[in-house]
Amino acid sequence: MTGTVAAVADTVAALRREVAALHAELPRNQLVVWTAGNVSARVPGADLMVIKPSGVAYDEISPANMVVTDLTGRLVDGDLAPSSDTAAHAYVYRHMPEVGGVVHTHSTYATAWAARGEPIPCVLTMIADEFGGEIPVGPFALIGDDSIGRGIVETLAGHRSPAVLMRNHGVFTIGATARAAVKAAVMCEDVARTVHIARQLGTPVPIDQRDIDALYARYQNVYGQG
């Protein structure tokens, strides 16, 4: 364990437990198959993140095999190689300091929209509530370096949506916490499926921008228990 990790050992241990537990939500909500997809969390107070190791089956994920990297994607603590999407997550954390969690899925309906290179239009109140407008499409980018991360940041910077459909690839979501990013991934797939079905029946009716703004403001600031 490096000195930096040791200094935040309790925080890292808690995040290992949280990130491991949140991975169970991906197959539970049918957002991933086999070993695809990943969840990460920023380590507050340190330029570190906790992320899933590469190629590990979901029923083998545990707090002990979560890995810690710095925000360039370099492994600093753990016995396994980090996710192949680590560079993308790291780029997001470096350039979006408000982000505390990142999730990647290949969920069926949302990824079908990504394969078409088409944003999901804001035709449901749930989309207005959760995403503040359409769910945008990001550029095509190859896996392995920070190209995907650049596409995520360029697309979501200044956008209310916490989700982006990376063209020909899949879904990336962000949140103030890893749990919030997982929620966004679940909601993204749900609305992608509903809008797909609506289009089979006809042309979905768009929501007026003023109503989108009002719905988003209410949901983000009033809904729930505060």
Chain segment 138-182, per-residue pLDDT in tens: 999 999 899 999 999 999 998 999 999 999 999 999 999 999 999
In a domain, 211, yes or no: yes
Residues recognised as catalytic: 104, 106, 129, 169, 223
Sign, CA torsion 214/217/219/224: negative
- Token readout for 147 is 């190209």
In a domain, 136, yes or no: yes
State the pLDDT at residue 136: 98
In a domain, 110, yes or no: yes
The answer on pLDDT for 2 being more than 90 is no
DSSP code at position 71:
T
Average pLDDT over residues 37-48: 97
In a domain, 96, yes or no: yes
CATH number at residue 96: 3.40.225.10
Pairing between β-strand 170-175 and β-strand 163-166 as defined by DSSP bridges: antiparallel
The answer on pLDDT for 74 being more than 70 is yes
In a domain, 56, yes or no: yes
Residue 19, domain extent: 3-221
State the number of CA atoms in the 13 A half-sphere of 183 facing the CB: 12
**Residue 79 neighbours by CB distance under 10 Å:** 9
Average pLDDT over residues 20-29: 98
Over the stretch 177-226, which tens digit does the pLDDT of each residue have? 999 999 999 999 999 999 999 999 999 999 999 999 999 999 999 998 86
Q: Quote the CA–CA distance of 22 and 183 in Å, as a whole number.
A: 10
Q: Taking Cα atoms as reference points, which of 49, 53, 28 lies closest to residue 40?
A: 49
The answer on pLDDT for 1 being more than 70 is no
- Token readout for 65 is 């095999």
DSSP code at position 172:
E
In a domain, 195, yes or no: yes
Cβ contact 90:72 at 8 Å: yes
In a domain, 61, yes or no: yes
In a domain, 106, yes or no: yes
The model's pTM: 0.97
Average pLDDT over residues 61-70: 98
Number of domains in the chain: 1
- Token readout for 137 is 């499409």
